[in-house]
Amino acid sequence: MSSQTLLNIETIILDSSAGDRQAVIKELAERLQSAGYLNDEAAFLASVEAREQHASTGIGFGVAIPHGKSAGVIKPGLAFARLAQPIDWGSLDGKPVTSIILLAIPESEAGKEHLRILASVSRKLIHESFRQELLVGQSAADILKTLESAL
């Protein structure tokens, strides 16, 4: 899976005013839907919420990586939001989140592909310089370039 098919400038939101976890996930899912990654936003949102109920996807460092595997996903996609104000995500480190990377995977491709993408992104998020680039990128194009480096 190439980064060009996973990423789309239309799925990047800078300075989102979403006030809670559900609102930002919905905002990102709407972007994925309009960019052609989803054919059933409600089914996808249900899969993401089910995953969040299992355990928080707030990995620490101010970042959350919610994800869902659903028949409502046409092709694998990734959306990003940077929040104007941090929100509580129940993160492993107890700190609020400012950057969200939402991953959408077709149910038929669940397993290795979604784990590969999560692992690639997670490895980059360990590095403060990568996280900083996500926080200070001035445009969606800047964020897109940073995320491409993780895939």
Active site residues: 67
Task: Report which secondary-structure segment, H or E, holds 83.
Answer: strand 77-87
Q: Distance between CA atoms of 70 and 110, rounded to whole angstroms?
A: 9
φ, ψ for residue 88, nearest 5 deg: -75, 135
Q: Distance between CA atoms of 48 and 114, rounded to whole angstroms?
A: 13
Signed CA dihedral, 57, 62, 63, 64: sign only: positive
